[in-house]
Amino acid sequence: MQQRKGRIERLRRLFNGAGLDAFYITNPENRFYLSGFSGTAGALLLCRDQSYLLTDLLTDFRYIDQVSHESPGFTIIEVKGTYADALFEIVKEKGLLRLGCEGDHLTYNQFVALADKLKGVELRPSSGQVEGLRLCKDDGEVRLIKEAVRIASQAFLQELPGIKPGVTEQQVALRLEYTMRQMGAGGAAFKIIVASGARSAMPHGVASTKVIREGDIVTLDFGAVFCGYHSDITRTMVVGWSRQKLEDIYQIVLEAQMKAIAVLKAGVRAADVDRAARGVIESRGYGPFFGHSTGHGLGLNVHENPSLSVKNDAILQAGMVVTVEPGIYLPGWGGVRIEDTVLVEERGCKVLSELPKMQLTVLK
Ligand code: ZN
Ligand code: ZN
C-alpha cells in the first residue's frame, strides 16, 4: 500500500514535469503495479490530486468490496457506457487540458475514440513511463519473485524423476505446471518449454507430443507466477547416458553463464554482461550457435527491460531482476541452455534460483 503510494507519487512527478494534468493508464500490468487492482478490465486516471480507478466490472456488491479492498486511495468509477464517456465526465469536472496516455498499449481505435470524445483536450501518448518505474524492484516485489522462484524450483525437483523414456514432452510440461499450481502458483509463467532429442536445438521449442527416449538431451525452461510476479529457469539434462561432446558443450555454457553472473552488478552496461557470456562461447568456436541475447528483465511480465543484449547500452541498477541464459544449439544434434533468475545488487548479484547446475544431470 505504502509502496504503491510512492510509485504513484513518482509517476506524478514525471507527468507534472512534462506539463500534463493527468495520466491515463490502460496497460494491465501497469494498472496492477500502481493500484493493486487484479480485475480483468479497468483503467486508471491519475490526476495531480486524485486517483481514479475506472472499471466496467462492478456488476455486484461483492465486486465493489474487492475493488475498494485491493485499491484503497482510489476513487472508483463504474463505467456504464464507454471508457471514453467515463473519462469525459472526469475531464470536464476537473477541467483537465493535457492528458498523457500509454502509446504502447492504447489501440488506434481506442485513441481515436478518446480524441473524438475529448475534443479540446490535448492527448499526449508516451512510451515506457510506468515501465521505467518498474525496472528496479522494491523489497516486496523481490519477495514475490523469490516465492515464484521457490515454487518453480521445488516443483522441478519433485517432477524430475518423471522425465524418463516413454513419456511425452507435453506430459512433462503438464505435470510440472500442475505441481507448481498445487504449490501455490497462479500458473506457469509462460508455455513450458520441453525440448528433447534433436528438438533441444530449438531455443524455444514448446512441449510437443514427442516421446522422450533413452539418450535424449532434455531442455526444460519453466517458471511460476506468484501474485503477478514471474520466475524463469532453464536446466538441461540427459536421459540414460551422457557423452563427451555433450559434457564439453554443457561445461562451456556453464562457464559462459557463470562469467556473466560474475560481471553482473549495478553500474555495468547490459551489453557487457552479454559480451562476457558470448566471449566464452565464441572463444570455443560456438559463437554462431548462440543466437539469442544473454538475458532479459522480469517482474510483472516475464520479458521486460533491461534486455541483456549486445545492443543495450543501458546501465544496470540495483534492484533489477534479470535472467542469465546463454545456450549453444547445434541443428540436428541438440542444444544446451542454463538459465537462472538473478537479482542485481550494488556490489554484485544474487542468484535467486539455486537448482544444481555444476554437473550435467544424467536421469537414470
Ligand atoms: Zn526461460
Ligand atoms: Zn528467459
For residue 286, the tally of other CB atoms under 10 A from its CB is: 22
pLDDT of the residue at 267: 98
Q: Which of 9-13, 202-206, 358-362 has the lowest mean pLDDT?
A: 202-206
CA distance 252 to 258: 10
Q: What is the pLDDT of residues 17-72, one digit of tens each?
A: 999 999 999 999 999 999 998 888 899 999 999 999 998 876 666 677 777 777 88
More confident residue, 259 or 202: 259
Instruction: Give me ligand 2 centre to Cα 215, in Å.
Output: 26
More confident residue, 17 or 319: 319
Instruction: Give me ligand 2 centre to Cα 296, in Å.
Output: 6
pLDDT of the residue at 62: 64
Instruction: Give me ligand 1 centre to Cα 28, in Å.
Output: 22
pLDDT of the residue at 92: 94
Instruction: Give me ligand 2 centre to Cα 102, in Å.
Output: 26
Q: Are residues 248 and 113 in the same domain?
A: no
Instruction: Give me ligand 1 centre to Cα 338, in Å.
Output: 9
What domain range includes position 74?
Answer: 2-134
pLDDT of the residue at 60: 60
Instruction: Give me ligand 1 centre to Cα 337, in Å.
Output: 9
Determine what percent of the chain is predicted with pLDDT higher than 90.
86
Determine what percent of the chain is predicted with pLDDT higher than 70.
98
Q: Which of 134, 154, 181 is a domain's end point?
A: 134
What one-character DSSP code corresponds to residue 254? H
pLDDT of 209 strictly over 70:
yes
Instruction: Give me ligand 2 centre to Cα 323, in Å.
Output: 6
Q: Which of 134, 155, 188 is a domain's end point?
A: 134
CA 230 to chain centre: 6
In the structure, what pLDDT confidence band is assigned to residue 205 with cuts at 50, 70 and 90?
A: confident
pLDDT of the residue at 1: 67
Length of the chain in terms of residues written: 364
User: Average pLDDT, whole number, for the chain?
Assistant: 94
pLDDT of the residue at 66: 74
Instruction: Give me ligand 1 centre to Cα 361, in Å.
Output: 18
pLDDT of 343 strictly over 90:
yes
Instruction: Give the CATH number of the domain where residue 23 resides.
Output: 3.40.350.10
Nearest ligand, CA 205: 1
Q: Are residues 185 and 215 in the same domain?
A: yes
Q: How many domains does the chain have?
A: 2
Residue 306, preceding peptide bond in cis (omega within 30° of 0): yes
Do 121 and 98 form a contact (C-beta atoms < 8 A)? Answer: yes
Q: Are residues 320 and 341 in the same domain?
A: yes
Nearest ligand, CA 292: 2
Q: Are residues 217 and 171 in the same domain?
A: yes
Q: What SS3 class is residue 315?
A: strand
Q: Which of 77-86, 279-288, 314-323 has the lowest mean pLDDT?
A: 77-86
Instruction: Give me ligand 1 centre to Cα 233, in Å.
Output: 5
Nearest ligand, CA 234: 1
CA 182 to chain centre: 21
Determine the average pLDDT of the residues in 231-236.
98
Q: Are residues 159 and 250 in the same domain?
A: yes
Q: How far is CA 351 from CA 232, 233, 261, 282, 284, in A?
A: 12, 11, 8, 24, 25
Q: Which of 80, 113, 134 is a domain's end point?
A: 134
In the structure, what pLDDT confidence band is assigned to residue 203 with cuts at 50, 70 and 90?
A: confident
Q: Are residues 147 and 271 in the same domain?
A: yes
Nearest ligand, CA 223: 1
Q: What is the pLDDT of residues 132-160, one digit of tens each?
A: 999 999 999 999 999 999 999 999 999 99
Q: Are residues 144 and 53 in the same domain?
A: no
Spell out the residues 6+ positions from residue 161 whose beta carbon is closer than 8 angstroms to its own: 363
Instruction: Give the CATH number of the domain where residue 276 resides.
Output: 3.90.230.10
Instruction: Give me ligand 2 centre to Cα 11, in Å.
Output: 28
By the 10 Å C-beta count (0-12 exposed, 13-18 middle, 19+ buried), 44 is classed as buried
Instruction: Give me ligand 2 centre to Cα 295, in Å.
Output: 6
Determine the average pLDDT of the residues in 308-335.
97
Q: Are residues 217 and 334 in the same domain?
A: yes
Nearest partner of 96 among 185, 14, 184, 22, judged by Cα:
22
Q: Are residues 39 and 73 in the same domain?
A: yes
pLDDT of 189 strictly over 90:
yes
Q: Are residues 263 and 172 in the same domain?
A: yes
Q: Are residues 329 and 257 in the same domain?
A: yes
Q: What is the pLDDT of residues 156-186, one digit of tens each?
A: 999 999 999 999 999 999 999 999 999 999 9
Bridge partners of 229, per DSSP, are: 226
Q: Using a cut of 0.85, tell me whether the model's pTM lies above it.
A: yes
Determine the average pLDDT of the residues in 206-219.
96
Q: Are residues 214 and 228 in the same domain?
A: yes
